[in-house]
């Protein structure tokens, strides 16, 4: 059910339309983000065909899960990049496991990663601290750390000067550091 408004709709409106089954909205989102997603996937996977497959899979996942998008957790761009990065790293890990299948992993390492309550608590604290950042700082940090983009690429994507990207990154990291230190009782 194409809608005449998808050409000028915001990213958030497109995701809402996708959640209602509007395929034209998915096409518009593809037009806006395919190049960015493909460049990011290519940089992570270093294989053009696998990168294209990953972009397709991420956009299909976005279609299926459009109803789960929450504006307060970040922009649509960040939502897509985080999904892409997560799937890319899953694929890399899966390939690495397949290559070293004959060498068993020490159970202690697996238990530490998945079952350590202190580590899980730290992760929760980091997620909370990131969520508390102003949107502009959070978006820049997410694009850099989850999207794997350089300051120049972030500046281009957001339409802001590189210096602004760097200052938002520094301010965001400073706020994260302060928030995490105050939660843990440590002070620099």
Q: How far apart are alpha carbons 78 and 82 in whole angstroms? A: 6
Last residue within a domain, chosen from 72, 103, 134: 103
Task: Judge whether 150 lies within some domain.
Answer: yes
Say what the pLDDT of residue 115 is: 60
User: Does 52 lie in the same domain as 88?
Assistant: yes
For residue 118, what are the domain limits?
106-182
Q: pTM of the prediction?
A: 0.53
Residues 131 and 74 grouped into a single domain: no
Find the mean pLDDT for residues 96-125: 60
- 85 plus 158 within the same structural domain: no
Predicted local confidence at residue 99, as pLDDT: 64
Inter-residue contact 106 to 140 (CB < 8 Å): no
pLDDT(41) > 80? yes
Q: How far is CA 77 from the centre of its chain?
A: 8
pLDDT of residue 93: 85
Confidence at residue 135, expressed as pLDDT on a 0 to 100 scale: 85
Let me know if residue 149 belongs to a domain.
yes
Give which of 86, 91, 96, 93 is closest to 50, Cα–Cα. Answer: 91
Is 111 a residue whose pLDDT tops 60?
Answer: no
Report the CATH number at residue 119: 1.10.10.10
Averaged over 65-82, what is the pLDDT?
Answer: 92
3 lies in the same domain as 70: yes
């Amino acid at each position: 059910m194409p809608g005449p408004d998808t050409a000028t709709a915001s990213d958030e409106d497109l995701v809402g339309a996708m959640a209602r089954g509007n395929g034209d909205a998915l096409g518009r989102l593809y037009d806006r983000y395919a190049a960015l997603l493909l460049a990011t996937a290519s940089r992570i996977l270093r294989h053009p065909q696998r990168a294209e497959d990953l972009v397709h899979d991420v956009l299909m996942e976005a279609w299926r899960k459009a109803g789960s998008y929450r504006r307060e957790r970040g922009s649509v761009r960040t939502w897509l990049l985080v999904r892409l990065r997560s799937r890319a790293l899953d694929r890399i890990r899966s390939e690495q496991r397949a290559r070293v299948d004959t060498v068993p992993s020490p159970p202690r390492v697996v238990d530490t990663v998945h079952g350590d309550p202190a580590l899980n608590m730290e992760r929760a604290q980091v997620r909370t601290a990131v969520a508390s950042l102003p949107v502009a700082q959070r978006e820049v940090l997410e694009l850099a750390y989850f999207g794997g983009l350089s300051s120049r690429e972030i500046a281009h994507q957001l339409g802001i000067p590189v210096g602004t990207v760097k200052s938002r990154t520094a301010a965001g990291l400073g706020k994260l550091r302060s928030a995490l230190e105050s939660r843990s009782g440590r002070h620099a």
